[in-house]
Amino acid sequence: MHHRMPDVMNLDDAHARALRGIVIVGGGTAGWMTAAALCHATAGRCPITLVESAEIGSIGVGEATIPPIKAFNRMLGIDENDFLRSTGGTFKLGIEFVDWTRIGHRYFHPFGQIGVEFDAVPLHQYWLRERARGDRRPIHDYAMAWVMAQAARFDRPLGDPQRVQSTFDYAYHFDAMRYAQYLRRFAEHRGVMRREGRIVEVELRGEDGFIAAVRLEDGARLAGDLFVDCSGFRALLIEDALHAGYDDWRHWLPCDRAVAIGCASAHPRVPYTRSTARAAGWQWRIPLQHRTGNGHVYCSEFMGDDEATALLLGHLDGEALGEPRPLRFAAGRRRRSWHRNCVAIGLSAGFLEPLESTSIHLIQTAITRLLALFPDRDFEPLAAQEYNRITSAEYERIRDFLILHYHAVERDDAPLWRHTRAMPIPETLAYRIAQFRAAGRLVAEPLELFQNANWLAVLAGQGIEPQRHDSLADLRGVEAPTFLAELRTVMQQATAAMPAHDAYLDRHCRAES
């Protein structure tokens, strides 16, 4: 029997087609997250250059995150306490929504599980049954993350799935500028070259329209095989040069402006983000160690810039730090985030308002997809096709989750809310709402970002009342009221044994300044 020898030439050919250089256009959170991940993944075997201009700067308002950020930092081998010290970070157990459903109403979107499953029928179905019998406790009362958040306590989750302290998850609040600087040090230490300068020309290849190089104001020419557009809203490569197209979603998400400012820290620093609905949008409040981040996202059709800024400044918890920074945007996504030899990551790929803290997550997943579909110099088109397919689906699912907050409201006190209550919504979202309204059914896809617990928190929090509960709950003979009462007690006891959030920060990861 003859055994065929491996084709060494093919291996050599494959190696010869490997990328010879990557150029990242733009710094900030997107640029330096990309640089750090790419230099780590390529083990320094592919030259990476990041070009940014200190004159242009970065937006840097994305200060709240969601739990998957932990996986990104772990991938890079970053120590959590060191990272939090360096970025002025705090812990985040979820988001409190104030005045969204109606003025005076609050609900919490917790990270992790809601409750502990004790039967084949989901816990929230028993909660619905008891609700119909007169128990009006909100669903978030059964989330460990909420019990901890309202008590301003924190500890890391336990690994034992039998303990209630294993049921919550967490993310971070941090200074996005400091995070970018932290990752810059990481990347430069591993060989990434930073080039200061403003790009004045994007040079395309005549034969296929691929990007050949970018030219800087000082005359320097930076060539590469792969170009990553992290230039923010300017979309210098993906749109200005390659005309990838943009799907504008302002008919569903009408807020198109924001103003941001820091203020002196309030104490205690609570381990959650707060989102408060206003007449023409909403206000964020993000507690860091060295300051509180604040911003007002609003619709320019219903409120002027001066009024929006005054409203924000009138609702700060401490003395304003610096000057308000205005932003303009259009909710939507790039039709093709990967086009030719260019991949757009961050705001150049699209923008969904930070209502559920997804901005940094969308950077992270874009990087993860790029690594999973990493090209060689042939840029085989199926990789870009798959990248764009997954990216489009991700943006659409997050879009639907955000629209839910605006559409499922009782408010009619201002033009924005009257508009969003009455507007037609995507069929994909209408289907989810209909399923929940009929019998409390949750129909999240297995791989999507927001899972059943997330949808449950917001569907219930926004006041959508199912018409009935799962009829199987009535046939099981389970003493649900007793179990639910015991669960509340156990959660309270476990939380009482935890340190205060501030004390935990001081002990483990107090900021350097």
Smallest CA-to-CA distance from 158 within 510, 498, 483 is with 498
How far apart CA 459 and CA 335 sit, in angstroms, is: 29
How far from 12 is each of 9, 73, 460, 508, CA to CA, in Å? 5, 34, 58, 49
Own/partner contacts of 43-47, CB < 8 Å, gap of 24 or more, are 44/190, 44/191, 46/18, 46/19, 46/20, 46/21, 46/22, 47/20, 47/21, 47/22, 47/191, 47/193
How far apart CA 396 and CA 50 sit, in angstroms, is: 30
The residue from 30, 61, 92, 180 that is catalytic is 92
* Burial track 339-353 (b if 16+ CB lie within 10 A, e otherwise): bbbbbbbbbbbbbbb
- At residue 73, what are phi and psi to the nearest 5 degrees? -65, -40
Strand, coil or helix: 434: helix
Dihedral sign of CA atoms 346, 58, 312, 305 in order: negative
Bridge partners (DSSP) listed for residue 110:
94
In this structure, what is the dihedral angle of CA atoms 501, 452, 474, 130, given to the nearest 10 degrees? 40
The structure tokens listed for 275 are 């989102």
Task: Go through the chain and tell me how many residues it has.
Answer: 513
Query: 92 an active-site residue?
Result: yes
Confirm if 363 and 345 have CB atoms less than 8 A apart: yes
Q: Which residues are catalytic?
A: 92
